[in-house]
Chain A
Amino acid sequence: MKKNIKKNLCVLRELLYLRIHGLMVFRFDFFAPFFVDGSLFLIQLLAFRVVYSNVDTIGDWGRGEMILYIGTFSLLNAISMTIYFFGVNSIPYKVRSGELDLYLSKPVSPLFRLTFENISPGSVPLIMMSICIIVYGIHMGNIKITLAGVIGYLFWIMIMAVLYYEMEVMIRSVSLYVVSMARLEQMEEACLNLCMKLPGIAFYGIYKIIFYLILPYGIMATLPVQRMTGEMNWQTAVYGTGIVFLFSVITAVLWKQGLKHYNSASS
């Protein structure tokens, strides 16, 4: 076990080195994710500022909670962009072109390498920007900060980042079973677009089943915010961890079974 972790850390260091070396060739592209996603979330903030200039609360949430929500979603997105998005996003292409062969033939987990081979240091400012939005939200909402609240919030951010990762891997694992999965990626984009604008408290009935259970994008930023504001009860906490556990199992099974379905393109 210890030997395995040490080996993976060495691989991770080499992947990071190779990635930075590659990024330095196209220097403007280095910060592209920051400019693109940064503008997206700033526009989101501006839009909600306009909505709140017309109303005092949306549901039970005031302006501060909504800013905190946008900052939290932005943080989850930033973690994804920095660490694994560009690697995981390339899975369908590598399956179609047969390039996955190169990953399967190396003495390291293919998913580990795919996850970490395209780390994006240029997205780190996006994490800083998200933290600024979160601090601003806490300030605007006069949210009482406690050590337990902050630790709880960080815990939920961590496991929701895992859920975010699992959703990305799960959707792209489908490419191991089918010829084209453009629709699934389109669906993922549509759901993310919806849930980054709309907190989970807005969902009810069938919408809640869809966005809390089937495609749990609705809980990703909502649960950390509820923990920070003290709205979270133990049932929600159990439900959230249960969903993360359930999707971990589904993702692992889908990926492992998918590799058995994979038809090499080169041999």
Chain B
Amino acid sequence: MSKYLEISKIYMKTQLVWRADVIFNMIFTITKILFAYLLWGMVFQNTERIGQFTFHGMLSYYIMHSFLSQLEMSEGISGEIHDRIRNGTFSKYMVIPVGIEKYFIAMELGIVLFYIVFDFIAAVIWFFVFQIPIPFAAEGFMIICGAVMTVLGMLFMVQLNYFLGLLTLKYQGIGTFLMIKNNLAALVMGSIIPLSLFPEVIVKMMQLLPFYYVTYLPAMLLIGMCKEEAITGLIVITCWCLIMQLIISMVWKKYIRKYDGVGI
């Protein structure tokens, strides 16, 4: 366990090298919120409520969602694995005495723990800039459920990106597929518009998928909405984490023999 903590600490320290990145990441979160502010500002000129949202409720959702999605930084894992398998340097991870998947989880943890403070500051600043009352859920139960679901959601995304990276063992190039996945993820994780505005049938279908629980439902819980979905949400995302782990084991066993390393 201590070696994984060391990995997390190293990656946390590494982020200090990229101080400008941290600041600009904070600043550019405004574009998502500005999009919501201007678009929904026009929409709410003619109506007071859309679905379960008021104008302030909608902006709160986008700020909270933006905070959580900034923390979800596992996208680089699939790219890293893809590049290293293609050029043969994936051996770097195979020769060190750690589990490779656990290495990436520890890495992600270190990065997230570093960024969480800055992203939280950014979220609070945007609440003040756009003059929205900070809408934290009044019940501790919803906050705890939201926080646990966020952790599980991020774990799932690390697993998913690890799995996609491993697919390079089978398919030579998955770069295009990863970019398409990112476009789709923006929609199904509620980054563009809140998922509850979709037709009911589609929402029900999305509730069966894990992406609903990565940033959308945690954001809703943290602003005090969708309380009734909290427990089922935790169960569904836990099941998806277990399923994904099984898939990863199968893919690893089946395809790792195809890997040609260099530089050992």
Contact = CB atoms under 8 A, between A and B. Distances in A.
Interface string B47-74: 1001100000000000000000000000
B34 interface: yes
Contact of B183 (A32, A39, A51, A197): A39
Contacts of B184: 39, 43
Interface stretch (A77-85, A188-196, A249-257): A188-196
B35 A32 contact: no
A90 interface: no
Query: How extensive is the interface on chain B, given as a class?
Result: 20 to 34
B197 A54 contact: yes
A175 to B, nearest CB: 16
B197 A202 contact: no
Interface in B150-179: 173, 175-176, 179
A183 interface: yes
A203 B39 contact: no
Interface in A191-235: 191, 193-194, 197-198, 202-203, 207
Contacts of A187: 28
Contacts of A207: 34, 38
B176 A43 contact: no
B33 to A, nearest CB: 10
Contact of B20 (A46, A183, A202): A183
Interface stretch (A55-63, A105-113, A145-153): A55-63
Contacts of B187: 43, 46-47
Contacts, number: 78
Nearest to A204: B38
A267 interface: no
B186 interface: yes
Contacts of A266: none
A199 to B, nearest CB: 9
Given A29-B176, A35-B176, A43 B38 contact: no
B180 interface: yes
A36 B180 contact: yes
A32 B179 CA distance: 9
A35 B198 CA distance: 24
Given A39-B183, A43-B183, A54-B50, A28 B42 contact: no
Given A43-B187, A43-B192, A50-B193, A55 B50 contact: yes
B176 A198 contact: no
A53 interface: yes
A171 B43 CA distance: 33
A198 B37 CA distance: 11
A191 B47 contact: no
B2 interface: no
Given A29-B176, A50-B199, A202-B41, 16 more contacts: A26-B173, A28-B173, A29-B173, A43-B187, A47-B193, A50-B193, A54-B50, A54-B197, A59-B42, A186-B28, A187-B28, A190-B31, A198-B38, A203-B38, A207-B34, A207-B38
Interface of B: 20, 24, 28, 31, 34-35, 38-39, 41-43, 45-47, 50-51, 173, 175-176, 179-180, 183-184, 186-187, 192-193, 197-199
Top 10 nearest A-B pairs (CB, nearest first) are: A32-B176, A190-B31, A202-B38, A36-B179, A47-B192, A39-B183, A59-B42, A43-B187, A194-B31, A40-B183
25 contacts: A29-B176, A32-B175, A32-B179, A36-B176, A36-B179, A36-B183, A39-B183, A43-B183, A44-B192, A47-B187, A47-B193, A51-B193, A51-B197, A53-B199, A54-B43, A54-B197, A55-B43, A58-B39, A58-B43, A59-B42, A194-B34, A197-B192, A198-B39, A202-B42, A207-B34
